[in-house]
């Protein structure tokens, strides 16, 4: 299959996913379950990454500024900009594309392999709707919160290292954080995140759902790798496009 055939089948899958569910109650139950397995279970890694990245950014910025003309609070300003604009949305989503993506691909791929998807279809259940829609909705719902948490923790991490290591005083750091702050930057970041979330849920679902069952576990493993590569590329591309149109 070439790229265009994949895209065509992907779009058809999305169409199928957004059909009216058999039972709203079942969708709700699956939605809650997915929020847990996609979102809540990723919180600790996101927290850790954000704290450390914020801290490193403060050190990096401080060590690269040795001109007296540049004020101290620039450290806070630069950290805020990098965290909010790129790290907490794009980087965190790239990392979660790996973690969440391989999870989703292997879960759905295994269901294909063990005929669980066939079992759903024979019962009369729209398997794409049943399996993929809750993942899409849960991702769209939970990812903005994850990104907001990452922003907050990143700035806290930076503040902690900055003050503890004597790089900057708390007042100056906070002043930097507030310097020329535009709430729009958060809107921009969350807007991007919605797109990322959509593809982090759907691309791995696609590769898992259409795994070749005669290839066995090997093929399921490959579908995980493919989906991580594909969703990372899509995230980078979308990031470029959205940034171009929203910030330029």
Partner 1 sequence: MSIIVKDIKKGFSGTEILKGISFEFEPGKTNLIIGQSGSGKSVLTKCIVGLYEVDEGQVIYGGENFSAMNKSERKQIRTQIGMLFQGSALFDSYSVEENVMFPLTMFSDMSKEEMLDRVNFCLERVELENKNHLYPSEISGGMQKRVAIARAIALNPKYLFCDEPNSGLDPKTSIVIDNLIHDLTKEYNITTVVITHDMNSVMEIGENIMYIHEGHNWWTGNKHSIVTTDNEEIGNFVYASSFMKQLRGKLS
- Contact with partner 1 (CB under 8 A): which of 63, 115, 184, 225? 115
Query: Is residue 1 a contact residue for partner 1 (CB under 8 A)?
Result: no
The one among 2, 68, 124, 180 contacting partner 1 by CB under 8 A: 124
With CB under 8 A as the contact rule, the residue among 12, 70, 123, 165 that binds partner 1 is 123
Q: How far is CA 175 from CA 25, 63, 71, 197, 225, in A?
A: 49, 19, 11, 32, 44
Q: Check residue 121 for interaction with partner 1 (CB under 8 A).
A: yes
Is residue 27 a contact residue for partner 1 (CB under 8 A)?
Answer: no
Dist CA 47 CA 60 (whole Å): 20
For partner 1, the closer CB: 152 or 213: 213
Least distance in Å: CB of 152 to partner 1? 33
Tell me if 58 sits within 8 A of 166, measured CB to CB.
no
Cβ distance to partner 1 smaller for residue 111 or 201 = 111
Token pair of 141 as six digits: 């719902």
Helix%, strand%, coil% for the chain, nearest 5: 85, 0, 15
Q: Which residues contact 95 (CB under 8 A, 6 or more apart)?
A: 45, 46, 49
Rule CB under 8 A: say whether 12 interacts with partner 1.
no
Site residues, partner 1 (CB under 8 A): 22-23, 25-26, 111, 114-116, 118-119, 121-125
């Amino acid at each position: 299959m070439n790229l265009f055939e994949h895209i065509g089948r992907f779009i058809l899958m999305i169409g199928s996913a957004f059909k009216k569910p058999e039972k709203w109650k079942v969708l709700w139950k699956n939605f809650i379950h997915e929020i847990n397995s996609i979102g809540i279970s990723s919180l600790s890694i996101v927290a850790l990454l954000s704290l450390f990245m914020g801290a490193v950014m403060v050190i990096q910025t401080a060590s690269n500024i040795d001109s007296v003309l540049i004020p101290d609070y620039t450290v806070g300003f630069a950290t805020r900009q990098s965290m909010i604009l790129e790290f907490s949305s794009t980087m965190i989503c790239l990392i979660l594309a790996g973690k969440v993506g391989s999870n989703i691909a292997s879960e759905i791929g295994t269901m294909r392999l063990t005929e669980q998807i066939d079992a759903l279809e024979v019962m009369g259940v729209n398997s794409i709707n049943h399996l993929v829609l809750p993942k899409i909705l849960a991702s769209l719902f939970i990812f903005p919160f994850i990104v907001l948490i990452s922003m907050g923790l990143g700035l806290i991490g930076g503040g902690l290292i900055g003050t503890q290591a004597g790089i900057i005083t708390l007042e100056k750091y906070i002043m930097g954080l507030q310097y020329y702050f535009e709430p729009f930057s958060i809107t921009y970041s969350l807007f991007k995140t919605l797109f990322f979330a959509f593809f982090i849920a759907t691309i791995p679902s696609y590769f898992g759902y259409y795994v070749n069952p005669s290839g066995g576990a090997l093929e399921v493993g490959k579908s995980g790798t493919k989906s991580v590569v594909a969703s990372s590329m899509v995230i980078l591309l979308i990031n470029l496009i959205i940034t171009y149109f929203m910030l330029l």
